Amino acid sequence: MTKRNEIDALRNLSGDIWNVAVDEYAAGYLKRRDLLKYAALIGLTGFAASQGLGFSRARAAAAGGTVRVGLGQPTKAIDPVTVTDPASIGVLSQVGEYLILDDPKDGLQPKLALSWEADETAKRWTFKLRPGVKFHDGRTVTAKDVVASFERLVDPNSGSSALSAYKGILSKGGAKIVDDETVAFDLDQSNSNFPFYVSSDVYNAVILPADYAGDFEKNFNGTGPFKLESFRPKQGASFVRNPDYWGDKALPDRVEIKFFDDEQAQVVALQAGQLDVIPSTTRLELAIEGNANFKLLSVQASSHDAVHLRTDQAPFTDKRVRRALALTLDREAIVKGLLKGRAIAGNDTPFAPIFPSADPSVPQRKQDIAEAKRLLAEAGVPNGFEVTLTTERAYDIPDYAVIIQNFAKKAGIDVKLNVLPQDAYYGSATFGSSPWLDSNLGITDFGHRGTPDIFLNATLKSDGAWNAAHFRNADYDALLVEYGKARDLQAQRIAAGKIQALLLDETPEIISYFSQYSRISSAKVAGVRFTAISHLLLDRVSFVQA
């Protein structure tokens, strides 16, 4: 089929919203894979699947066997409603599932939801559930369970870690039963990207029984491919294949997970043949570099380490000072040096280049020391100033803080470092009692999302729960509404371009890179999948035959 014939066929699939995306594909503005991802977003899941999206098992390898995994220590009791740490998310991935999986390669994939669609306003979304799915305790999943799961997540009294994601989007009472296999969501405001909010992007959105009482560690009762065999706090857990799983039956026999206090101990265990899969950091990658017995698996993500500048405190009340600090950074050097090339340059907005809605015509900010000095002089601080950068002792962030310190010196800005333990930095995660949200200048790690919406709302909206920059801008808030109402990619990109331009001008935060997310595995293991937000998907793992 020629591309012209293909485009003619595509136009017959849906209405005007879809045809705008087809127009962009025809004009070369949209890649075919991005077009298929958009098809899934607006509910054309059958079409996306027919075009080859989704995974296939490597048939040269054998299913069955035991997959041995190393993870860090969960930071608290594992509860889908309150979970936040990567280790707990990795454990949940074995037993819990979402309405939709946001796969980093193929986009939104149907899981417990078979299909979804929005009304003309994108304010009501309706989801058809997969029939016959059972929880591990044998009960069938119905709309009642799905509605209860989301009502629990948006309840301010539940302790839900997802409240910041749903704020202004979905409130208590918004999820409704249509029938046993249909759920509707009435949103607080129009949002054309809402399917991402009920996907694995909101990692708390695991579907649980309606009568869930908060005792998840007792039985790990979910719908996933593996069932609990044993759980040992601070030590690990083991799971066995779920014989009633609705999906692929060619599962590994068991998954054994061991918790580690030290990441170096994980790589030692991997090298000794005691583990098959571990998380990855730049430091660990060096330990296995060039060794054919191991594989580094990576996906490009929207993960980033945001530098917030408090717009309500001197010296950052003046946007010229904020822009000056941003202009001191050499982004390409940071990507090549700190991230070893496993990242892409950021442009001080949450619109990562991997998002189809990002406006690529917005100029990329580059290092310009002369302009930084000019802005500082114009702002009345020609000799620079002194400021404290507060951040967390985690990942590559302390090294990034030193890099910022060194680049800032070139413009006369004297950055003092205050690096805290991770739990101390986040504190209670509330304004007035958290170094993260209260510091004048800080660096915070944000995990991957399949759409920029959560970043845009939670970190920069005037009443955003993560607004560490204390950025309050009515024009920005209005643009968020415009972006949320945009029903097609072209309209989204126009609204995104306005947001990007405003944030570059105001510079409430600096985003100099978007990282890749990686895992390390034994070369003997095939089919390890994961999301860039710490889900570890082992249902298709198989073992390479010698």
Q: Which domains does the chain have, with CATH numbers?
A: 3-50 (no CATH), 63-75+86-95+224-293+525-546 (3.40.190.10), 97-216 (3.90.76.10), 304-516 (3.10.105.10)
Q: Give phi and psi for 315, each to the nearest 5.
A: -90, 5
Q: Using an 8 Å Cβ cutoff, are 155 and 81 in contact? A: no
Q: Is the pLDDT of residue 348 over 90?
A: yes
Note the pLDDT of residue 308.
Answer: 98
Distance of CA 294 to the CA centre of its chain: 26
pLDDT > 70 fraction of the chain, expressed in percent and rounded: 88
pLDDT at 60 over 70: no
Cβ(374)–Cβ(380) under 8 Å? no
Per-residue confidence (pLDDT) for residue 247, from 0 to 100 = 92
Question: Residue range 521-533: average pLDDT?
Answer: 93
pLDDT at site 546: 61
Is pLDDT at 47 greater than 70 in this prediction?
A: no
pLDDT in the model for residue 186: 98
Backbone angles phi, psi at 200, to 5 degrees: -65, -10
> What pLDDT score does 36 carry?
58
pLDDT band at 59 (very low <50, low <70, confident <90, very high): very low
**How much is the average pLDDT of 336-345?**
93
pLDDT, residue 545, reads 74
Find the range with the poorest average confidence among 234-238, 289-293, 374-378: 289-293
Q: How confident is the model at residue 28 (pLDDT cuts 50, 70, 90)?
A: low
At 57 the pLDDT is 46
Pick from 254, 260, 258: which is nearest to 229 by CA? 254
Q: Amino acid identity of 359?
A: D
- pLDDT at residue 326 tops 70: yes
pLDDT on residue 106 = 79
pLDDT at 54: 47
pLDDT attached to residue 205: 98
Residue 249 has pLDDT above 50, yes or no: yes
| pLDDT beyond 90 at 2 | no
At 56 the pLDDT is 44
Let me know the angle formed at the C-alpha of 434 by 430 and 439, rounded to the nearest 5 degrees: 120
Q: Is the pLDDT of residue 102 over 70?
A: yes
Top pLDDT among 18 and 467 is at 467
* Cα separations in angstroms, 361 against 348, 353, 364, 493: 15, 11, 9, 10
DSSP E strands, 455-531: 509-510, 513-522, 525-526, 529-530
| Interval 361-384 mean pLDDT | 97
Of the two residues 281 and 333, the one the predictor is more confident about is 333
E-strand stretches of 343-478: 343-345, 386-393, 414-421, 441-446
Residue 51's pLDDT is 55
Q: What is the CA 511 to chain-centroid distance, rounded?
A: 15
Pick from 31-45, 115-129, 227-241, 306-320: least confident: 31-45
- For the chain, give the mean pLDDT: 90
Tokens 């870690």 -> residue: 161
- Checking if the pLDDT of 462 tops 70, the result is yes
Which has the closest alpha carbon to 200: 319, 64, 96, 313?
Answer: 96
Least confident of 38-52, 97-111, 269-283, 397-411: 38-52
